[in-house]
Structure formats: C-alpha cells, structure tokens
Amino acid sequence: MGILAGLINENVDRHTQDIITLTATASITTADHSGRTLLMGEVGGDAAATFTLPAATGTGSVFKFVVSVINTSNYLIKVADATDTIDGQIIITDADGTAATSFVTASTSDTITLNGTTSGGGAIGDYIELIDIASNQYSVSGMVTCAAGSNIATMFSATVS
C-alpha cells in the first residue's frame, strides 16, 4: 500500500489502477483494497456476497466497487461496526426507460444492498464509491441501474447499528 500524503499531479501519459475481483464475501481493508478497482464478480451471480468495510477513521481511503457480474442474490456493502454510518446519495436509472432518480442516505444508513433488480446492480458497470472521510463516517456516491421490469427501491438500510 502506498500512502499519497502530498500533491498528486495526474498530468502523465496515463496511470492504471490495480483490479481486484471479489467473487465471494470478503473483509475489505485499506491494505488490500483502497484505491483499487473492486469488481463485484460473484461467479454465476446467484449467491449473496457481503463486503465489510474497515472502521472509518478519516484515512481518505477510497473504495470503488464496480459490478462485473449481475447478482440477483445481493451484493451487500456494510460498515464495520454500529458506530459507523454512510452519508451521500446514489443515482439510479430505471432500465424500463430513461428516467433517473436518486436515493439519499438516512442518518442511520450503514448498509448498501444491490439486489440486481430493484435496488440497483442491474447492469455491468454499475458502481459505488465510498470514501473514509472521518471517524465513524463514510461518504458515498455512485450510479446504478434498476433492471428492466422492476420498480426502483432504495439500496440503503441500517443492518449493523
């Protein structure tokens, strides 16, 4: 793991980020996952996979999850403990048309569920970015897809607290 504690000037030819494919339930860590592209790729897309974030301490760690395999048995991203919460919003597009809306977190939100249909994760490329911005605090943004034939529902809940 590299810690970039200074200026990052990205005016180079290009840079690439490492990719990690998450095929099953896993504990997410700064050392193994921060700053990498994290593919949610449960083989077959038919088994629940839960990704537990490290406790938020304000490290600036960025965890970007990208759907590479649609999973109708749920990808869950949740915080480490009852004191951590997630603030922000995720834009969701309804594949039945072109309408987009946004779900906003509640004050107690600590879990994100992409069920492959109503709550997002209905398309490869759907993504969520979480940033550890302070003690007990993640921020979230992202863009996901509600699968055709489904009605949108929030992906946020409080299952840890």
Q: Which residues bind other proteins (CB under 8 A)?
A: 1-18, 30-36, 58-62, 87-89, 91, 100-107, 109, 131, 133-134, 137, 139-141, 152, 154, 156
CB 108, CB 84: distance < 8 Å: no
For residue 44, the minimal CB distance to other proteins (Å) is 28
Here the tokens at position 40 are: 């949610």
Residue 19, beta-bridge partner list: 37
Here the tokens at position 131 are: 């940033």
For residue 105, the minimal CB distance to other proteins (Å) is 7
For 41-56, give one letter per residue: b (16+ CB within 10 A) or e: bbeebeeebbbbbbeb
Distance of CA 139 to the CA centre of its chain: 11
For residue 151, the minimal CB distance to other proteins (Å) is 11
Which DSSP symbol is given to 30?
A: H
Q: Of the two residues 69 and 146, which places its CB atom closer to other proteins in the complex? A: 146
For residue 62, the minimal CB distance to other proteins (Å) is 7
Q: Of the two residues 45 and 150, which places its CB atom closer to other proteins in the complex? A: 150
Q: Of the two residues 45 and 155, which places its CB atom closer to other proteins in the complex? A: 155
